[in-house]
Amino acid sequence: MQITPTSLQHIAALIDAPFIGNANHIITGFNEIHRVSLGDVVFVDHPKYYDKALQSAATTIIINKEVECPSGKALIIHPEPFTAFNTLTRHFSPRQYSSQAISNTAKIGKNTIIMPGCFIGNEVTIGDNCVLHPNVVVYDHCQIGNNVTIHANTSIGSDAFYFKKRASSFEPLYTCGNVVIHDDVVIGSNCSIDKGVSSQTSIGKWSILDNHVHVGHDVEIGERCLFAAQVGIAGACKIGNNVTIWGQVGISSGITIEDNATLLAQSGLGENVKNGQTYFGSPAGPAKEKMRELFAAKQLPDLIKKLY
């Protein structure tokens, strides 16, 4: 999330927190660790991740312990960095709820068909020659390219599934990103595409999603991908071009799947997949190895009979 350049002193005052660094140190945005760039604020609340945050591209870190500040950066000391980050993102990106089926600020291209029951939020952009079937929901600030088809009851831009466990409840991380769907994408019915926490979730050109596919926050999907029904992709995954994922595959958060890879049906993926590999199983591994393991397991009853 980008903001008008603002001083460290001003940002720290908004959350009533002390800071380390030049009071006039400039802040230009807020992002999660996997999306930070120069000028961004990031938060960290566990010693395990201190070094990652401090050495990241972010130039301001909200942290719950006073540590040595890297050169050229600034620290904001707060007992609850998660909550502090929420306070700041809510301040700079407050929700603006629309009471109309199609917001006055939405921009819809030529020859685009919006069928009955659809909701189009504030500042949404939809390109030319698109078709949105009945009851499609497009949340605020989402962007849809040209020649995109979205089938009935699909939701584009819902909040991230991202929570901090507290003593008696769960605190949600405030979601202020969006979804970007590029040209010539087809999305089936009853899909849900979560927006990025502070950046974007994106789906590349010519990709096709079957019915009942869920794409988590900050996922990046490349071009010409094909996902069958009931695929679930957790947050912050990065999927390359020409990737095929068959039905009922589940993918853990933060996974990278390189170009031309294939995940066979009902696989549970918890590790990165290299270019051109085919994976299968739960936990998923190279398909040939997993098939051999299954074949070997089928021989066990006969082997046991022979032994005993």
Residues whose CB is less than 8 angstroms from the CB of residue 177 and which lie 6 or more positions away in sequence, other chains included? 1, 160, 195, 196, 197, 198, 199, 200, 201, 217, 218
Q: Rounded to whole angstroms, how far apart are CA atoms 290 and 296? A: 10
Q: Which of 78, 151, 212, 217 is catalytic?
A: 217
Q: Which candidate, 272, 274, 185, places its Cα nearest to that of 227?
A: 185
Q: Rounded to whole angstroms, how far apart are CA atoms 238 and 251? A: 11
Q: Rounded to whole angstroms, how far apart are CA atoms 182 and 99? A: 27
Residue 217 designated active-site: yes
Q: Are strands 26-30 and 2-7 parallel, antiparallel or unpaired?
A: antiparallel
Q: Which candidate, 5, 54, 43, places its Cα nearest to that of 25?
A: 5
Q: Which candidate, 58, 12, 52, 4, places its Cα nearest to that of 31?
A: 58
In three-state secondary structure terms, 82 is helix
Q: Would you please indicate which residues are annotated as catalytic (active-site) residues?
A: 217
